[in-house]
């Protein structure tokens, strides 16, 4: 019973790690000026937030992240659901690059 629960938690931790890595890679590939043009926090702030989340996810991998896992998930989801679509909508050729 405990190995099943531990396996499920490990799978959730791995999924969270993949989610944060995807958000960080996406943020790194967007032009910095597009974040400002979209009215969002700067690219550097998002890279710091997501990079910190990735670091905590890597440290907590193999163990239970607990409340930190919730914070990490919220940060990644906010980026992917709110910031990414707004920044992605900034078309090339504008003042943002």
Sign of CA pseudo-dihedral 44, 91, 87, 16 = negative
Q: How many domains does the chain have?
A: 1
Residue 81 has pLDDT above 70, yes or no: yes
Residue 96 has pLDDT above 70, yes or no: no
pLDDT score for 90: 78
Of residues 96 and 50, the one with the higher pLDDT is 50
In a domain, 97, yes or no: no
Taking only the tens place, the pLDDT of each residue in 16-72 is 999 999 999 999 999 999 999 999 999 999 999 999 999 988 887 656 667 788 899
Instruction: Provide the domain limits for residue 42.
Output: 2-88
Give one DSSP letter per residue of 62-82, joined into a string. TS--THHHHHHHHHHHHIIII
In a domain, 6, yes or no: yes
In a domain, 48, yes or no: yes
pLDDT score for 60: 76
């Amino acid at each position: 019973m405990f190995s099943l629960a531990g396996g499920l938690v490990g799978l959730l931790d791995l999924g969270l790690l993949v989610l944060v890595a995807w958000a960080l890679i996406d943020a790194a590939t967007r032009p910095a000026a597009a974040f400002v043009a979209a009215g969002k926090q700067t690219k550097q702030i998002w890279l710091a937030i997501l990079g910190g989340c990735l670091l905590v996810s890597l440290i907590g991998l193999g163990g239970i992240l607990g409340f930190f896992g919730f914070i990490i998930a919220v940060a990644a989801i906010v980026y992917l659901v709110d910031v990414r679509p707004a920044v992605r909508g900034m078309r090339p050729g504008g003042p943002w690059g």
